[in-house]
Amino acid sequence: MPVRVCPFTAEGIAEAASALRAGMPVAVPTETVYGLAADASSDAAIAAVYAAKGRPSFNPLIVHVRDLATAERLGEFGDRALALAQAHWPGPLTLVVPQRANNGIARLATAGLPTIALRVPAHPAMQALLAAVDRPLAAPSANRSGAISPTTLAHALQSLEGRVTLALDGGPCAIGLESTIVALTGGPPRLLRPGVVQIEDAVAPSGGGVEAPGQLLSHYAPAKPLRVDATSAEDDEWLIGFGAVPGDSTLSAGGDLIEAAACLFERLHDADAGLAQRIAVAPVPEHGIGRAINDRLRRAAV
């Protein structure tokens, strides 16, 4: 699959914007590192990003927006979050805040969590793109899972070779280090990932050293007991089917793993909200994005 590189021109921005609106992932420049962006309101577009990165698990993604006003429509900013946003945006600071209800963000983008990570990037090409798309863009770093974050377009394309069809060229990243992540979800600010923006009073969570962000998350899990590899429902179970195993709902009747990833959190939330006391999920094949689906189901089952 040859990749098409759009220059940072009015035409290039328009082309990247229409691809994003059509649900395609696009490699994009930011001032920190290159990202693999997708329409944050589309579960299917986010699923395509996970598939391209080959991530074996679903971590919540950073949602990039044009400005603070847009961010405030998606998340709840207390005084401290507002002050930090005003001091550092646009720039390399990501704020994790409580999510607003019905904000239109795909559940897969936040991995089902009640919080959302928001950032207003400073790179002029990313700013122009956000204005043209006029939708929030979810973007993890544009590398294969397990590889380092790319600070040039060449690195991004090398890492994602054959897995991305469109990229926006914004030159090398000025900062070259991922954004600082601070959580403001109650209590003192917590430093989830250090970066060039220093927040003096942010505390490192869980007793001292800063851990990898993925390990700090309280991952979304349904409140009800969950059983995996179920081929039929037992008493008082809501069965989420897959492929040939029908259910009360299904991840994908046709056995499509990307479709399954896109609706996973929605199906779990629905099952949790329903009348049955327990949840069962049909077997999902352990390959491709199926590994990420199974990782999440296994965590929910313990």
State the residues that interact with ligand TXA by CB under 6 A. 30, 32-33, 35, 59-62, 94, 96, 110, 113, 115-117, 119, 139-141, 178-179, 181, 183, 192, 213-214, 217
In whole angstroms, the minimum distance from the beta carbon of 67 to ligand TXA comes to 16
Phi/psi for 74 (5° steps) reads -95, -35
* CA–CA distances in Å: residue 11 to residues 7, 16, 24, 34: 8, 9, 17, 20
- Residue (176 or 285) nearer to ligand TXA, CB: 176
Q: Which of 10, 153, 41 is nearest to 108 (CA)?
A: 41
DSSP H or E run through 6? strand 4-6
Query: Do residues 50 and 36 touch, judged by C-beta distance below 8 A?
Result: no
Q: Which is nearer to ligand TXA, 119 or 163 (CB)?
A: 119
Q: What is the smallest separation between the CB atom of 232 and ligand TXA, expressed in angstroms? A: 35
Q: How far apart are CA 120 and CA 126, in angstroms?
A: 9
Please tell me the count of residues contacting Mg ion according to CB under 5 A. Answer: 1
33's contact among Mg ion, ligand TXA, none, with CB below 5 to 8 A by partner kind, is ligand TXA
30 touching Mg ion, by CB under 5 A: no
Taking the complex as a whole, the smallest distance from the CB of residue 244 to ligand TXA amounts, in Å, to 34
Distances (CA, A) of 151 to 33, 158, 213: 5, 12, 20
CA gap 251, 229 in Å, rounded: 13
Output 3 or 253, the one with its CB closest to ligand TXA.
Answer: 3
Task: Report, in Å, the least distance between residue 253 CB and ligand TXA.
Answer: 30
Touching Mg ion, residues 120-179 (CB under 5 A): 141
